[in-house]
Amino acid sequence: MNLNNSEIFNENKYVLHRIKFFILILLEIPAVLISLLIFIFFRTHRSRLKIRQNGSICLLLIVNFIKLSTDIPMTIHFFYFHYVIPAISTYCTWWTFLAYSLSSICEFLTAIISIQRHILIFQPNLLQIRLRRYILYYSPLLLCIIYPIIFYMFAIIFYPCDGTQWIFTENGCGFANCYFIYDKVLSTFDWLVNNGLPIVIILVANIALVVRVIKEKYQRQQIITWRKQRRLTLQLMGVSSLFLIAWLPSLIIALVQQLISPEFALQIQLDYITELIYLLYLLLPWICLGLLPECVKWISKKLSARRIVINIVRPITIHNGI
């Protein structure tokens, strides 16, 4: 019996959703475990948390963990059932609000952390004064959390809409928010400022930091060693590449849709490009772990101690002679 076009399409969708489901599950579990291990490390080593670099990384991880615990499980749930459940407008509104706001918070936090790293490495004395510390360190981090929540609350939750635009057979209800469909000015601002700008800042700040570190190496070799420089360079390349791979394709397609044609690469974006962004949040705990060598040593020590205990407490079989 020959399958019609609709049946072939549905079969292809089924296979694609299954593949995405298993990939997300395989990446979600270790991402959550790594995040929890880092949180436990900071809980048991509070002195490490007082270091400003570690404090900002922990804040980024907390927001990322919320996304791992809310948005991504909702996506996994969709790929398992191939349909949005419950298929109601309210669910789609809050789902996209969580997805957009948490993603934007992570981007802005990473951008600010990249800028603050210049201060922490090259001008740490600027943060010795309390007022400067609040202006240059705490306030930007707080703004990174408050601004996206307020923006998307008005753009998604309070935006006047009848709720008939949602696509319940697509992930994220098709991400068919009314402002994104009917308001080109607001949607273009969203992509340029809330998504594009942080990515540009992250790339420029990290590249500039690498250049400054290399320059410092040749000027003051006794202070910045090559080993530290090499490790920092690899870390920054990892962070920059992760954000670039995850966001750049989606940003380019979205801008073309807003400025030229709304249908440009729409199905490709829904089926493949959007899922690249999930890799960012699923791999971010591993990147953060690489930024915390003390945590890596602590985990290794715990695993080694556990293996020793297992080897010692092995069941002994006693053979009774006759």
Q: For 79-88, 118-127, 217-226, 270-279, which range has the lowest pLDDT when averaged over its residues?
A: 217-226
Domain that holds residue 149: 12-293
Residue 78 lies in a domain: yes
Residue 257 lies in a domain: yes
Please name which of 73, 70, 77 lies closest in space to residue 17, comparing C-alpha atoms.
Answer: 77
Please name which of 18, 16, 36, 38 lies closest in space to residue 26, comparing C-alpha atoms.
Answer: 18
CATH code for position 94: 1.20.1070.10
- What mean pLDDT is reported for the chain? 82
Q: For 99-108, 173-182, 227-236, which range has the lowest pLDDT when averaged over its residues?
A: 227-236
pLDDT class of 3 with cuts at 50, 70, 90: very low
Say whether pLDDT at 316 is over 60.
Answer: no
Q: What is the pLDDT of residue 11?
A: 72
Residue pLDDT, tens place only, 273-303: 878 889 889 998 998 888 788 888 898 888 8
Q: Which residue has the higher pLDDT, 103 or 310?
A: 103
> What mean pLDDT comes out for the span 203-224?
73
Q: What is the pLDDT of residue 156?
A: 94
User: Considering its fold, how many domains does the chain have in total?
Assistant: 1
Q: Which residue has the higher pLDDT, 211 or 178?
A: 178
Residue 237 lies in a domain: yes
Q: Which residue has the higher pLDDT, 222 or 111?
A: 111
CA-to-CA dists, residue 300 to 37, 82, 287, angstroms:
11, 40, 17
> What mean pLDDT comes out for the span 266-271?
74
Residue 129 lies in a domain: yes
Q: What is the pLDDT of residue 31?
A: 96
Q: What is the pLDDT of residue 221?
A: 56
Q: Which residue has the higher pLDDT, 45 or 265?
A: 45
Return the percentage of the chain with pLDDT > 90, whole number. 35
Torsions phi, psi of 318, nearest 5?
-105, 120
Q: What is the pLDDT of residue 34?
A: 95
Q: What is the pLDDT of residue 196?
A: 86
pLDDT class of 236 with cuts at 50, 70, 90: low
Say whether pLDDT at 218 is over 80.
Answer: no
Residue 306 lies in a domain: no
* DSSP string over 159-219: S---STT--TTSGGGGG--HHHHH-HHHHHHIIIIIIIHHHHHHHHHHHHHHHHHHHHHHH
Residue 316 lies in a domain: no
Say whether pLDDT at 227 is over 50.
Answer: yes
**The dihedral of CA 297, 298, 303, 305: what is its sign?**
positive
Q: What is the pLDDT of residue 322?
A: 43
Residue 221 lies in a domain: yes
pLDDT class of 234 with cuts at 50, 70, 90: low
Residue 222 lies in a domain: yes
